Amino acid sequence: MAVNKENIEKEYIENRQRFEAIANEINATLKRIALRYYNETRFQVYIPPLRIKAVQSIIGKLVRKNRDATSLIKANGKNMQLVCNDFIGGRILCNTQDDVFAIEKIVSTYPRLTVEKREYLKKENGYSALHLDILYETYWDDQSVLIPLELQVKTHFQHAWAEITHDDDYKPDENSLIDDSIKAYYTHISSILNGLDGFLITIRKQKLSLITPPTFLTPADTVINSNTLSYAINKWSKEKITLQEMNILLKRLKEEGFETIQDVDNLFNDREIEARIKQFKEDLSINENVTAFEMVKYGSLLNKSKDVHFGEEIKSDFGFVKEQCQDCGRNLTKDELKYINLETDSDMVFYCETHRDNHFPNKCRVCNKKTASEYCISCAGEKEAENI
């Protein structure tokens, strides 16, 4: 078996920008999964930046596995496929083990994500996480290509413990210096974290339980509380909400000075506010009717003429920021804005993922930032100063 290191390195360098673009596609898909989960549960999950495997790590793995690889890309029937099963690495961090498995179900429904292997790892040092080997389908010069993605889905506790033990116990066969007493501590601490995860699952189930609204209200039921609000919501849309959602809405109504359930009924009957929320969602390419949850959470802001706060919050909840693409006018997502700020030499003009490559086709020869010229603005200024 032979590994053509030179050719693999050459292909990797030549296609690095394509790999980054594909990683951005995958990241956008994971963000949509996170948004779908938030809409279903009102629980946030966190997606750290994706990792593209370094070329030397790819070559090292191919050599260790004794694989025959003359190219970074291999034929797979009518498709192309990258040779390394964890070429791109991603993580989804959530609150509980129940969240882990619920997110796994959502991942399995996405047509461009094919789960090839599922493994729930539990290592001696206490590391545990759900690992999914996934093939992400995209296009490469108008030809279908399957990009290997290793997706880790785990709780924040599991992630924290993995970070703590990463350096001294990353590879089980390389931990000869870790004595048995330290391993015992690892095992003990990881069991404590598992116990805490169990408590969080109980709390999570309680928060996700549906509130049953009363069948009627008496004339004395005028104060806003979980009973009166659930009744008003059910009357408006025959919608039941969870305890988690109820807590969010009660806090919002208190903040905005809503005192009686009649104030809430007046809000639900305000067709102008409902139309404004629906139009704003459509402007964000979210073509769905306004829910009772959104009517209270966002409509209460509009009712108090907090238009700016409303716009910022709804965009944030759906993953967008206030900056807009210079080309199409769409609000950027948080990740798109972060990319412009960190990866390009632009700090005043912004572009969405679809249009940014048109404006930053090159990489600065000095700092490697995306730019339209040979050098980014900062490095070009430094060179100019040196020549004065």
Convert the pLDDT of each residue in 88-117 to its tens digit.
999 999 988 889 999 999 999 887 899 999
Lowest mean pLDDT segment, chosen from 62-76, 158-172, 287-301? 158-172
Lookup result for tokens 């882990």: 100
Contacts with 71 (C-beta within 8 Å, 6 or more apart), sequence order? 4, 7, 8, 11, 83
Confidence of residue 172 (pLDDT cuts 50, 70, 90): very low
Distance CA 155, CA 151 (A): 13
| Residues 167 and 175 sit within 8 Å (Cβ to Cβ) | no
Mean pLDDT of 171-188: 61
DSSP H/E element including 41:
helix 16-41
- Nearest alpha-carbon partner for 153 in 115, 188, 124: 115
pLDDT at 118: 94
Classify burial at 292, counting beta carbons within 10 Å of its beta carbon; exposed 0-12, middle 13-18, buried 19 or more. buried
DSSP H/E element including 102:
helix 97-108
Question: Does 387 score more than 70 pLDDT?
Answer: no
Confidence of residue 318 (pLDDT cuts 50, 70, 90): confident
Distance CA 317, CA 315 (A): 5
Mean pLDDT of 338-366: 85
Token pair for 58: 């790819």
Cα–chain-centroid distance for residue 207?
Answer: 22
Q: What is the pTM assigned to this prediction?
A: 0.61
Lookup result for tokens 């009166």: 228
Other beta carbons within 10 Å of 317: 16
Lookup result for tokens 């004339």: 219
Domains of the chain: residue spans and CATH: 5-165+178-206 (3.30.460.10), 226-318 (no CATH), 323-387 (no CATH)
- Nearest alpha-carbon partner for 319 in 41, 108, 47, 20: 47
